[in-house]
Chain A
Amino acid sequence: MDFSALLNDPNFLPWLIPVGPLLAFVIISLLTNRSRMTPATSAAYGGHHPDYEGMLVPIVTDRSRIASIIVGMSGVLAAWAIAYRVVFDALGIADFGRSVFTSAVTWMDTGALTFKMGVLVDPLTVIMLIMVPLAVTMIFIYSIGYMAHDPRQSRFFSLISLFAGAMLILVVADNLLLLFVGWEIMGLCSYLLIGFWFEKRSAYNAAIKAFTTTRIADVIMLLGIAYLYFATGTLSFREIMYDPMPTHDSAAAVAGEHDEGVAVAEGDHSETVVAVEGEAVEGEAIAVAAENEGDHSEGAVAGAEGEYAAEGEHVHTWAIELAETPAIFFGGISAAGVIGIFLVIGTIGKSAQFPLHVWLPDAMEGPTPVSAMIHAAAMVSAGVYAIIRMYPLFEAGGHPHDGDLTSPLMLMAVVGSVTALFAATIAVAQNDVKKVLAYSTISQLGFMMAALGIGGFIAAAFHLITHAFFKALLCMAAGAVIHGMEHGEHHVHAHGHGHGALPAGAVGALPANVGGGAVDPLYDAIPDHGHGAGHGDGGHGANAHDEQPGVSSHAHEVGDEQGHGFDPQDMMNMGGLRRTMPVTFITFLIGGLSLAGLPLITAGFWSKDEILAEAWLGTTKGFGPHALVLVCLSVAAFLTAFYTMRQLGLTFWGENRTEEAAHANLGRGVVSATMTLPLIILSFFAITAGFVGVLPDFPILGGIFSPEGAPFGEFIGRTLVEEPPHLDFNIIPVAISFIVALGGLLVGYLMYWRRPLTAGQRDPLMAILGDSIHTTLRNKYYFDELYIAVFVRPSQWFAKNVAYEFLDKGVIDGFLHLIARLFNFVGDLIKMLNLWLIDGVGDGIPEMIGRLGKWFRGAQTGRIQQYMLLVLVAALVIGVIFALSSGVLQAAP
Chain B
Amino acid sequence: MTLAQRGRWITLGALVLLAGIYVRALRYTPVELFQGPAQKIFYLHVPAAWSAMLSMGLVGLASILFLVMKDARLDRFAAASAEVGTVFCCVMLTTGPLWARPIWGTWWTWDARLTLTLMLFFLFIGYQVLRGAVTDPRLRANYAAVVGICGLILLPFIHLSVYLFRTLHPQPIVLKPSAPSLPPEMLVTLLLSFGVFTLLYVGFVMQRYALGEVGSDA
Partners in one complex: no
B residues bordering A, Cβ < 8 Å? Answer: none
A residues bordering B, Cβ < 8 Å? Answer: none
